[in-house]
Amino acid sequence: MTRLTDKVAIITGASSGIGRAAALLFACQGAKLVLSARGAERLEAVAQEIRQEGGAAIAIAGDVSDEAHHRALVETAQTRFGGLDVAFNNAGTTGPVGPLPELSAAEWQAVLGINLTSGFLAAKYQLPALEARGGGSLVFTSTFVGYTAGFPGLAAYAASKSGLVGLVQVLASEYGPKGIRVNALLPGATDTPMGRHVANTPEALQFVAGLNAFKRIAAPEEIAEAALFLCSDAASFTTGTAMLVDGGVSINRV
């Protein structure tokens, strides 16, 4: 028995990095998937890879800051796969990296739209679908940045991602009685295009890797395993958490 047998899951940011690793892992674990990202070609390639291995995956290209996209993802889960059980709301952006006074109000709003308002929009459509199913699990990808550690140049990123932790706590208490679990996943530095964009020189990479107890950055597959746990019934008594998967960066002092 696999961990997501017959479960229907939405994964956003599924064309790359952590979301792609989660899509491949969730498919191996029996989930039927509705995959989201903006770039249609890269996203379809992931869906095709899953279908070639005998899995079920539909790619829907769109922007997570767009309300209609979330409606379309949930409707696709319902019309093509019969309902929704799980959503891994994972897409995100750092936005421009630099001192706050150099950030325009429009850039700030754009980062909040992609990282935080997207969480509201996702939950708005996903929660009624989970209720109709009698329960389920929502996971939002946050980060240790702005939760347990400051990180220069990432003010909008930190503010928007830590906002997700508040959202998760309220939704967990509101929807727990209905059998819906809601959790935040807080990765540490991970070897993805986003991770490489932030740590974009050998020196920066060495600095970032040196922050955690293992002195290396995570593989996206290691973060996907934690997402699988939170999304699956293995986490049946876990809700309202901000689960750090950061290699101990938050407790490390040497």
Q: Taking CB under 6 A as the criterion, which residues in 58-87 touch ligand NAP?
A: 63-65
By CB under 6 A, residue 143 contacts ligand NAP: yes
Q: Which is it for the CA torsion 233, 236, 240, 244, positive or negative? A: negative
Instruction: State in angstroms the smallest separation of the CB of 249 from ligand NAP.
Output: 10
Instruction: State in angstroms the smallest separation of the CB of 1 from ligand NAP.
Output: 28
By CB under 6 A, residue 212 contacts ligand NAP: no
By CB under 6 A, residue 190 contacts ligand NAP: yes
By CB under 6 A, residue 95 contacts ligand NAP: no
Applying CB under 6 A, among 4, 8, 10, 13 the residue interacting with ligand NAP is: 13
Instruction: State in angstroms the smallest separation of the CB of 250 from ligand NAP.
Output: 12
By CB under 6 A, residue 38 contacts ligand NAP: yes
Strands 242-245 and 32-37: unpaired
Applying CB under 6 A, among 92, 95, 146, 163 the residue interacting with ligand NAP is: 92
Burial environment of residue 193 by CB neighbours within 10 A (0 to 12, 13 to 18, 19 or more): exposed
Hey, what are 198's tokens? 């932030």
- What's the farthest any 2 CA atoms get from each other in the chain? 53
Cα 246 → chain centroid: 15
Applying CB under 6 A, among 9, 10, 23, 37 the residue interacting with ligand NAP is: 37
By CB under 6 A, residue 187 contacts ligand NAP: yes
Q: Residues 77-105, buried b or exposed e (16+ Cβ, 10 A)?
A: bbeebebbbbbbbbbbbbbbbeeeeebee
Contact 12, 76 (CB under 8 A): no
Q: Which residues bind ligand NAP (CB under 6 A)?
A: 12-19, 36-39, 42, 63-65, 90-93, 114, 141, 143, 187, 189-190, 192-195, 220
